[in-house]
Chain A
Amino acid sequence: MNRRENDSAQAMTPAHQRDPWELYEIVPEALVCRRGPGRLLEIVLDGQVYPGATVTQAFPRSAPGRYLIFADTTDNELGLLHDPTTLDPASREVLDAELRLRYVMPIVTKIERVRQNPGSWTFDVITDRGPLRLSVRNLHEHLEGLGSDRLILTDVDERTAEISSIQALDSHSKRELAKVL
């Protein structure tokens, strides 16, 4: 079957008339993302405007930025955007910014200091969102390795930070991190 044809056929059906058990794939050409007047995401899908739409990642850890599920304000699922790379640049920019708002997951760019105090560890890090201090009680419950090169740190207040590539860190950061790895 011609997939493209099938997609657009689906896309023509208004969201509320669709079969709720089916997954609708959004064709990138049919989607425009923009920022609404109240700083909320607004999307135009097949000519229909959805102010205050939400976007959620299906695989925030293993495939961040892809497999995006869009929903309207009443949580009606509008469809799945498999890969946003072919969106028009303006839409992409808005979408990337929106994901940054939806997922407050700071990415560590530099590790200033890792310190062991009696009863806890303190991580002073610089992230893409600014400096952050994380305090954890122990490492085995708060430091989660994803593969060999990625780490997720969750502190006692449920603040999280991600080290997306240990290899890519500068040598000072690596040395600090080596204290706990």
Chain B
Amino acid sequence: MVSLKSRPKFSSSGPPILTLESDLDDGANFCRRWLVIDPERMTLYDEQGAVIRQSEVSRLKAVRLEQDFGGGHLLFTYQSEPFDEAFVRFSAPLAPQFAYGLSVLQALIDQQPIPEMSVRDQPRACSRCGRTLPDGTDVCPLCVDKKKVMGRLLGYIRPYRLPVIFAMVVLLIGTGVQLIPPYITKIIIDRVLEPKAFSSDLLSLVALLFAMNVIQLGMQAIRGYLGVWFGSRMMGDIRRNTYNALMALSLRYFDQRQVSQFIGRVNSDAVSMQQFMTDGIVMITGQSLLIVSVLAVMLAMDWQLALITFVTMPLIVLVSVVVWPYVRQRWYRQWRSMMRLNILVGDSLQGIRVVKAFGQEPTERERYHGANQDLVLQNVRTDGMWQGIFPLFSFLSGIGGLLIWYFGGEQVLHNRISLGTLVAFTAYIAMLLGPLQWFSQLINWVTNAMAAADRIFEIIDAPVDVDDVADAVAMPHIHGHIQFDQVSFGYERHRPAVKAINMDIQPGEMIGLVGHSGAGKSTLINLLARFYDPDEGTIYLDGVDLRRVQQSDLHRQVGVVLQETFLFDGTVADNIRYANPDATLVDVIRAAKIANAHGFIMGLKDGYDTQVGERGHRMSGGEKQRVAIARAVLHDPRILILDEATASLDTETERQIQEALARLVQGRTTFAIAHRLSTLRHADRLIVLDHGLIAEMGSHEELLRNRGVYHRLVQAQRELSKIRGVEG
């Protein structure tokens, strides 16, 4: 195994420029291969260091990295050979290294200087486990320390130190008080009942017993209330932290997951922890305290008898240890079923219109039924297991009691201990067995709570890949000078959506982005709004790397109107001032007028106070878009982004808004994407994207003269309008 880890000796002449390890052979089976790039040639070696194949750099015409599914290969095209060659294959995780290898080869062919390996290309390893870290993060997803879950959970107690200390004191007193009544019974039996001492203070002893009960009652109530008080607060804190973490997460995190799962998760995982936090912590401490003190008392009263009681204890511990992993698994399964059900409900309700339109209610019911059945099954399994285990615990601990009656009874018969002692002993045993039986319940709570806590911490710990850097630059006044320098980005690794984008946009310029759908227009804008960071290259805003700009400053001065508009729960006015809650009502109306929304809003019964969003008035797509435009207008951004912002409007309304927007874009850097090319006639420059590359750049007239991609797009639209008989 050790030899596998080390590299074989290669028979190359000088030191190689680059050595890459690959993990697939020509039949795509796993094995180790080495691609060694020398200034003159590339050589592929096998595990033993034997040459598999070799190519001279001088013979190469081009190299390409071909994507397969779950892997890829380097493809060589030769000057003289009529065929291409698949030189080396590798699996997907190695793609970044080979992408760099490709750029090295390309440089060799072009006789250019060898590119530096950028920090992002370098495979970085986790300092703890040594495995390669995922792109764009320094947190190893596997090494987040799980052992600390309990510690972190308890860390939430810190703000409530005083009440917790108070609760502990109450607990201490309560435990002490609990220990007294059996002892009083012992006195009653030994001093009053046994000697038939009529004159004695039976009444006062019973009164004492009564008083003890009252104190216990009070203590329990206080303790319970305190538990709930700080348990609920801690849960509140945890929920808030989780939600904050969700809000801070980058879009990439949500791209990769079904969003509807989080709706349930944040709240239901918190509920799973709640019981543990409120009752659990107090109970654990209280009961442990009780066990220890009862043991001490019993040992003090009669150590031999006490030892007999403990005989069954190892058994109980053993059963717990055996059962624990199963409990954990069961809970996890139940949770997964629950999550599936949540996702299902979330999805079908979000798409309820589509469900109804296609009459698919029965299918959805069926799907729900299936998932629900599964959850029922998991519930029965998890809870059913307790129905078996719980009695087992009671049984095991009950045996201890039986042993006492037998051995203790013998002792009483032989007058070695008093009857009172025996009775007190059985009472103490009952107190001891209480917590022990309850121990099984504890396993249940703790596992459930720990699992929930773990999932919640997973969200809290998820790396934010567009995080503010430590020395972020404050930019209170953005001019709007934007430069893209060799920017490439892909939503999935090495499947770039935009490639090698270079552009320089002056402050106040209006840029129209055109191209086929899927060309990468929205992607470009996502990068500018810093929803994602580029994989390669840099975006500069007023000369500052966008990654270093303080995000709050950026988002305050960037206004975005998307095709899919979203209105939040609240009034129309609330939605217009979503980002500027301090704006006056007059400003709101002014913004709505510019966005051509004023007219239809005034037509509503409640005017600007009309409730919209989930629970409110339903607006048409065009109406929503106009409210969203008003929102952007009021935001008064330095950089305005319109991503098919007027796509749902009819031509006439669009024309009106266009005019309003034409005024709005004055003096602001504007990016506008529109399918109707006529919409972009105000643009200073048009940038034509094609398959993620900039195909053309220039004014409308220049591009028409060029007769390139843009010309074809315009031609196609002219024909389409002729058919429709609209637009000139």
Residue among A97, A135, A156 with max Cβ neighbours from chain B (10 Å): A156
Which residue of A118, A139, A140 contacts B145 across the interface (Cβ within 8 Å)?
A118
Residue among A104, A131, A132, A139 with max Cβ neighbours from chain B (10 Å): A104
| A100 interface residue (CB < 8 Å to B) | yes
**Residue in B closest to A100 when the chains form the complex, CB atoms:** B28
A25 CB to nearest B CB, Å: 23
| B254 interface residue (CB < 8 Å to A) | no
| B198 interface residue (CB < 8 Å to A) | no
Q: Which of A102-141 contact B (CB under 8 A)?
A: 102-106, 117-120, 127, 129-132, 135, 137-141
B455 CB to nearest A CB, Å: 8
| A172 interface residue (CB < 8 Å to B) | no
Q: Which residues of B contact A156 (CB under 8 A)?
A: 134, 141-142
Q: Which residues of B contact A130 (CB under 8 A)?
A: 29-31
Q: A118-B146, A119-B143, A159-B91 are in contact. Are A104 and B68 (CB under 8 A)?
A: yes
**Residue in B closest to A106 when the chains form the complex, CB atoms:** B30
Q: A40-B85, A131-B30, A156-B141 are in contact. Are A118 and B147 (CB under 8 A)?
A: yes
CB of A40 within 8 A of CB of B142, answer no
Q: Which residues of B contact A51 (CB under 8 A)?
A: 83-84
A137 CB to nearest B CB, Å: 5
Q: Which residues of A contact B388 (CB under 8 A)?
A: none
- In the bound assembly, the distance between CA atoms of A117 and B146 in angstroms comes to 9
Which residue of A105, A157, A179 contacts B93 across the interface (Cβ within 8 Å)?
A157
| B339 interface residue (CB < 8 Å to A) | yes
B60 CB to nearest A CB, Å: 13
- In the bound assembly, the distance between CA atoms of A88 and B92 in angstroms comes to 32
Q: Which of A30-53 contact B (CB under 8 A)?
A: 36-40, 51-52
Q: Which residues of B contact A179 (CB under 8 A)?
A: 329
Interface string of B326-350 (1 = CB under 8 A from A): 0001001001100100000000000
- In the bound assembly, the distance between CA atoms of A42 and B92 in angstroms comes to 24
| B24 interface residue (CB < 8 Å to A) | yes
Interface string of B22-59 (1 = CB under 8 A from A): 00101111110000000000000000000000000000
Q: Which residues of A contact B86 (CB under 8 A)?
A: 38-40
| B552 interface residue (CB < 8 Å to A) | no
Q: Which residues of B contact A160 (CB under 8 A)?
A: 70
Q: A129-B29, A156-B142, A179-B329 are in contact. Are A104 and B91 (CB under 8 A)?
A: yes
Give the number of A-B contacts (CB < 8 Å): 100
| B257 interface residue (CB < 8 Å to A) | yes
B243 CB to nearest A CB, Å: 20
Which residue of A105, A131, A132 contacts B69 across the interface (Cβ within 8 Å)?
A105
| B499 interface residue (CB < 8 Å to A) | no
Interface string of B51-82 (1 = CB under 8 A from A): 00000000000000000111101011000010
B460 CB to nearest A CB, Å: 14
CB of B84 within 8 A of CB of A40, answer yes
- In the bound assembly, the distance between CA atoms of A141 and B462 in angstroms comes to 14
| B535 interface residue (CB < 8 Å to A) | no
| A101 interface residue (CB < 8 Å to B) | yes
CB of A103 within 8 A of CB of B142, answer no
| A158 interface residue (CB < 8 Å to B) | yes
Q: Which residues of A contact B92 (CB under 8 A)?
A: 104, 157-159
| B132 interface residue (CB < 8 Å to A) | yes
CB of B28 within 8 A of CB of A129, answer yes
| B638 interface residue (CB < 8 Å to A) | no
- In the bound assembly, the distance between CA atoms of A103 and B68 in angstroms comes to 6
- In the bound assembly, the distance between CA atoms of A106 and B71 in angstroms comes to 11
| A89 interface residue (CB < 8 Å to B) | no
Q: Which residues of A contact B134 (CB under 8 A)?
A: 156-157
CB of A119 within 8 A of CB of B145, answer yes
CB of B91 within 8 A of CB of A137, answer no
A33 CB to nearest B CB, Å: 16
**Residue in B closest to A39 when the chains form the complex, CB atoms:** B86
Q: A38-B83, A40-B84, A104-B69 are in contact. Are A132 and B26 (CB under 8 A)?
A: no
Q: Which residues of A contact B141 (CB under 8 A)?
A: 120, 137, 156
B56 CB to nearest A CB, Å: 15
| B617 interface residue (CB < 8 Å to A) | no
Q: Which residues of B contact A39 (CB under 8 A)?
A: 26, 85-86
Q: Which residues of A contact B455 (CB under 8 A)?
A: 138
**Residue in A closest to B26 when the chains form the complex, CB atoms:** A39
Q: Which residues of B contact A159 (CB under 8 A)?
A: 70, 91-93
B82 CB to nearest A CB, Å: 8
CB of B332 within 8 A of CB of A40, answer no
CB of B69 within 8 A of CB of A97, answer no
**Residue in B closest to A103 when the chains form the complex, CB atoms:** B69
- In the bound assembly, the distance between CA atoms of A136 and B329 in angstroms comes to 16
| B211 interface residue (CB < 8 Å to A) | no
**Residue in B closest to A51 when the chains form the complex, CB atoms:** B83
CB of B70 within 8 A of CB of A103, answer yes
Q: Which residues of B contact A119 (CB under 8 A)?
A: 142-146
| B89 interface residue (CB < 8 Å to A) | yes
Q: Which residues of B contact A137 (CB under 8 A)?
A: 141-142, 458
CB of A38 within 8 A of CB of B84, answer yes
CB of B458 within 8 A of CB of A52, answer no
Residue among B144, B335, B339 with max Cβ neighbours from chain A (10 Å): B144
- Residues in A lying within 8 Å of B, measured CB to CB: 36-40, 51-52, 60, 73, 97, 100-106, 117-120, 127, 129-132, 135, 137-141, 156-160, 179
Instruction: Offer 17 A-B interface pairs, CB within 8 angstroms, sorted by A.
Output: A36-B83, A51-B84, A101-B71, A103-B69, A104-B68, A105-B69, A105-B70, A117-B142, A119-B142, A119-B145, A119-B146, A120-B142, A130-B31, A137-B142, A137-B458, A138-B455, A156-B141
> Apart from A104-B68, A127-B30, what are 18 other A-B pairs with CB-CB below 8 Å?
A37-B85, A38-B81, A38-B85, A39-B26, A39-B85, A40-B84, A40-B86, A100-B27, A104-B69, A104-B92, A105-B70, A135-B131, A137-B458, A139-B332, A156-B141, A157-B131, A158-B92, A159-B91
